Chain A
């Protein structure tokens, strides 16, 4: 994985000192809150319901064992013994003190980490495929491109006060595991007919109150113009994105209002101009970055056999491991969705343990997924049972990846100052319901996503089943959506009808799954059946 050189380290260290100075000026009264707020947000520090919350960047979701250990230590030293892994592949802490925030950033900087631009109206942490470098189906590892973009976007002087936040995802396989087309810019690294590597740009996707799937504005940007083209996309947005209404300020609205063709024309015009400005790093810089993401020293001649005599282990292997490009290896997913648990939460001890397991079993590397789980990307099949036993002894072996129990849920009204309803209790009740009825396994792949407000941090638009919490006259109410997907077949869910209370929504979800079980044809997932038969049979069963 990427290692900082002295320049990278100096940038992060300088930011720590800058934020220490800003915090000092806030506490001394020199900086009032309205001036300090955007500065703290640019360092990922929010004020939430119960305290400050700090969001730490995990660039493209990749972490070393030592970094993971420090994330666990921070949870103990500065927070209340746990952290929350997020849909942006980051981690956030819920009980932070302002006075201590600069010290946390200093601790992070020691292991090449930071909270730079994890909030605010700027280019956020770059996300990517959590199986990058391991997936059997990828063209190339997307992370060197993500790293190049990370450096370009960090402290970008022109784009520090954008109309709104800006999220970029980079993938390099046709299977989309990063919700690429639901980002402000989604980049797919592709190969053209001439066999050259380049980048397809999808611009103007997003969730929130006006969900949109990003159109492709350029099918092939040559690699030696990746940064310049990105800069052109951003400059058009910075100049013309709406600033009169924060709910219409994301780039998706600009692309939608201008139309894809006109937005593209403006980008191409700006790109033509910027090409003469010398802002593109040389390809040598990309070549400098690439070796950091080279394959680890996979052993040759390993067996692909797995001893499946323990049924619990066999189920976990079937559910939670993914094919790897190297023979004899798999990617193992550690579910942070224990039945009845809080999606994405892990205790300090669990975080440290996962870091140690990354070191011991996965070439010192782990990944955060946007579905709020942890991946050990490169595990020898022969050592899988040993790994499973350790996970099992520590409450980390739940075999439910991509099932209805593998729920994405935002923190909701239990923690978040924007939320209208609680998300976590609904997730807990649903996973308990389906685990107790034994239907989880029967239902197969079923992605359920819950947001506690219209901002859609829980990706409810993109769930096969989505749930949106709303405030109905001061009472929590939950709307049901069906038919969303954030994979390569991206689609946006549709609302079934009137909402439900907390118990009612759990029943409604179960009725929807019963329709699927009754109507499904061979090999169909829930989403496939819904797409084939449409909303009506589900509505009928739910509202009857």
Chain B
């Protein structure tokens, strides 16, 4: 069973994550935790100092965290974005596409199921910041789109 699934080569930072509100006052903190109601864009001026962003999914049906991660990646954030909370294997592929590169679910995931979920989709229809060429780009001979 996997407790922390991580797709980065740097050492995991384990500095405690502060809330977005607190972060506004103590911008020297290295890690921030985004709750579903938080505006990820408040962090944009400080991205260079942040080594880890945790995005909390209190319930998996609350999909605001998907947008939060994409917004950070679209702004050029290169640190870790870790999904925490009610995160399961069946959400992994979509979360990866939105920019998450670490997963720390409340309930550990089955390794084989996680591997299968992440390996499943050879192609994708949409362009995000994950570097994958969408199907429309492949069709028109532009694998780097």
Contact = CB atoms under 8 A, between A and B. Distances in A.
Q: Do A and B touch, yes or no (CB under 8 Å, in the complex)? A: yes
B140 A282 contact: yes
Nearest to B86: A35
Given A10-B123, A17-B120, A152-B125, A157 B98 contact: yes
Given A5-B139, A235-B67, A278-B145, A161 B61 contact: yes
B18 interface: no
A194 B39 CA distance: 40
Interface string A228-251: 000000010011000100000000
B113 interface: yes
Interface string A25-44: 10000100001001100000
A201 B140 CA distance: 28
Contact of A152 (B90, B126, B138): B126
A111 B67 CA distance: 34
A90 B44 CA distance: 43
Interface string A152-182: 1011111111100000000000000000000
Given A10-B123, A155-B125, A157-B126, A238 B134 contact: no
Interface residues of B, number: 41
A417 interface: no
Contacts of B142: 282
Interface string B7-39: 000000000000000000000000000001001
B63 A11 contact: no
A154 B125 contact: yes
Nearest to B74: A277
Contacts of B135: 7-8, 11, 151
A349 to B, nearest CB: 37
Q: Which of A5, A159, A235, A281 has the most CB of B within 10 A?
A: A281
B66 A11 contact: no
B127 A279 contact: yes
A101 to B, nearest CB: 16
Interface string A122-134: 0000000000000
A39 B129 CA distance: 25
Interface residues of A, number: 40
Interface string A275-287: 0011101101100
Interface in B104-145: 110, 113, 116, 120-129, 134-140, 142, 145
A278 B63 contact: no
A273 interface: yes
A161 B81 CA distance: 19
Contacts of A151: 125, 135-136
Given A160-B63, A288-B139, A35 B128 contact: no
B125 A161 contact: no
Contacts of A8: 135
A446 B61 CA distance: 41
B94 to A, nearest CB: 4
Interface string B36-54: 1001000000000000000
Nearest to A282: B140
Contacts of B128: 157-158, 279
B70 interface: yes
A22 interface: yes
Given A158-B66, A161-B63, A278-B127, A10 B139 contact: no
B36 A243 contact: yes
A540 interface: no
A21 interface: yes
Interface string A255-287: 000000000000000000100011101101100
B88 A18 contact: no
A210 interface: no
B97 interface: yes
Q: Which of A17, A30, A157, A278 has the most CB of B within 10 A?
A: A157
B35 to A, nearest CB: 12
Q: Which 3 A-B pairs have the closest CB atoms?
A: A161-B63, A157-B97, A281-B136
Given A151-B136, A160-B94, A239-B64, 8 more contacts: A17-B120, A156-B125, A156-B126, A158-B66, A160-B91, A161-B91, A238-B64, A238-B67
28 contacts: A11-B123, A11-B135, A39-B90, A155-B94, A155-B121, A155-B125, A155-B126, A157-B95, A157-B124, A158-B63, A158-B67, A158-B98, A160-B63, A160-B66, A161-B62, A161-B63, A235-B67, A243-B36, A243-B64, A277-B127, A279-B128, A281-B136, A281-B137, A282-B136, A282-B142, A285-B136, A285-B140, A288-B140
Interface of B: 36, 39, 60-64, 66-67, 70, 74, 88, 90-91, 93-95, 97-98, 110, 113, 116, 120-129, 134-140, 142, 145
Interface of A: 5, 7-8, 10-11, 14, 17-18, 21-22, 25, 30, 35, 38-39, 121, 151-152, 154-162, 235, 238-239, 243, 273, 277-279, 281-282, 284-285, 288
